[in-house]
Amino acid sequence: MPSASDPALRTEHVSTRRLDVSVRTLVLVPLTAAACFLLLRLLPVLLVLILALLLVGTLNPAVRWLERHHIKRTWGVLCVFGTLALVGVAVGVLTLAPLIAQVQSLVAHEPELRNKVASALSESSYTAGLAERLRNVQYSALAESSAPQMLIASKSVVAWVAYGVSAIFLALYVMIDRDRLRGGLFAITPRVYHVRLARILLNLETIVGGYIRGQALTCAFAATFTFAVLLVCRVPNALALAMFAGMADLLPYVGAMLAVGPAALAAATRGLPTVLLVSALLFSYQEFESRFIVPRVYGRVLRLPSAVVLFALLAGGALMGIMGALLALPAAAAIRMLLLSSRGLLPGEQVDDERLRALDERAERSYAERTLGAPAEQAAAIALEISEVRLREEGEQALEVPMTGGVGPLSRKAG
């Protein structure tokens, strides 16, 4: 008689084993797949929502300042958006016509500039072939080959403009109808999480608003400095090159090269000393911006290790191009804030958890007492008020007991 350890019996036993799948798994798997498919199809809508929330976080402090000065919120929102529109129109009127003229001048002088660059390259045997190809550029063939890409790019530009206009109007509606929307969000959230949700909303506004305002300031500084340098050095088309430098300053790491390259090429019409002077001044400014301006403009808004910054930029650029790279840093900082809010601390950080928990419990007890029987809109306002006090206490604690570890203030140039 065969024993229980016989291989044939073991094989038969294994072959009759069943794989049991729960009903919950059978329901969740197709629902998850459907949700992912729906999210991909609604990606443009999600992007409009993200852009609108970025605008809300950026402009909301100005609206709150007007509210503190006894201006009704609706009028405050309209004042902020109206001022923003007037500034945009004024900048366009003052710069658009000169910018178009200077771009046309750049195009007209392009053959002369190209010949000067080719002559400089031809002096070395290593770059002589590149100089020859540069002299023999055929723009007609280039235009024919790039026509389909230009058509696709023009459609993308129209789509982005439409998304931008939609995001502006959505942000306007969200800010005007803030109380009702916020009350609905708190109504569907369990009450025990209201104080933490309010703290997360305040932190998100600080991160997003601070980042966008910081970007606007640093880009304006870069454009102004570039314009002043090119104007003093009498480099032609200074306004167009300065505008390009300001837009290039949006991009970490590569922004410096993108800003300096065209300016240096334009300075070649004034001679080699001017090229060296312009390049040295612009590179010096980039270093000054990274070391001095950015830490003071951003403060503690974004505190990320350089490796996280680089990974976020690569991931954002791969997923959504330039827009993804621009949104990568505030998204990474927001994710880090959510981890900290859930007390999931990053490696290398030491925080007095017991004291923080005591502050959390005191805030939640105060919230429960003050919102007993209150409607959702009023409860949301109370939760935000308590959370503001709670964040100030946490900030005071951070000054008394500084965090240790390898995470320091982030500059967009990172490191």
Residue-wise pLDDT tens digits, 3-54: 555 555 454 454 555 556 667 777 777 788 887 788 777 777 888 888 888 8
Confidence at residue 413, expressed as pLDDT on a 0 to 100 scale: 46
Q: Is 356:340 a contact under the CB 8 Å cutoff?
A: no
Domain that holds residue 55: 42-135+154-176
Q: Domain for residue 370, yes or no?
A: no
Which has more pLDDT, 320 or 385?
Answer: 385
Instruction: Evaluate if pTM is beyond 0.75.
Output: no
First to last CA, the chain: 75
Q: Domain for residue 273, yes or no?
A: no
pLDDT in tens, 177-217: 888 888 888 888 888 888 888 888 888 887 777 778 888 88
Which of 254, 253, 274 lies closest to 264, judged by CA?
274
Q: Domain for residue 270, yes or no?
A: no
Q: Domain for residue 50, yes or no?
A: yes
The b/e string for 8-33 (b: 16+ C-beta within 10 A; e otherwise) is eeeeeeeeeeeeeeeeeeeeeeeeee
- Low-confidence winner among 160-169, 186-195, 283-292, 393-402 (lowest mean pLDDT): 393-402
Mean confidence (pLDDT) of the chain: 75
Q: Please give the Cα distance from 113 to 131 (Å, whole number).
A: 13
Which of 216, 275, 225 lies closest to 247, judged by CA?
216
Q: Please give the Cα distance from 190 to 197 (Å, whole number).
A: 10
Q: How far apart, in Å, are the Cα atoms of 59 and each of 83, 92, 167, 168, 383?
A: 11, 21, 13, 11, 21
Instruction: State the DSSP code for 401.
Output: S
pLDDT at 414 over 60: no
* Number of domains comprising the chain: 1
pLDDT at 378 over 60: yes
Q: Domain for residue 108, yes or no?
A: yes
Q: Domain for residue 87, yes or no?
A: yes
Confidence at residue 394, expressed as pLDDT on a 0 to 100 scale: 64
Confidence at residue 392, expressed as pLDDT on a 0 to 100 scale: 72
Query: Which amino acid does the sequence have at 297?
Result: V
Q: The tokens 């300053």 sit on which residue?
A: 249
Q: The tokens 């003093």 sit on which residue?
A: 232
What three-state secondary structure class fits 122?
helix
Q: Domain for residue 114, yes or no?
A: yes
% of the chain with per-residue pLDDT over 90: 1
Confidence at residue 207, expressed as pLDDT on a 0 to 100 scale: 79
Please name the residues in contact with 410: beta carbons below 8 A apart, sequence gap of 6 or more. 298, 302, 303, 304, 306, 309, 329, 333
Which of 198, 207, 260 lies closest to 229, judged by CA?
260
pLDDT in tens, 289-308: 877 777 776 655 566 666 77
What phi and psi, each to the nearest 5 degrees, are found at residue 372?
-65, 110
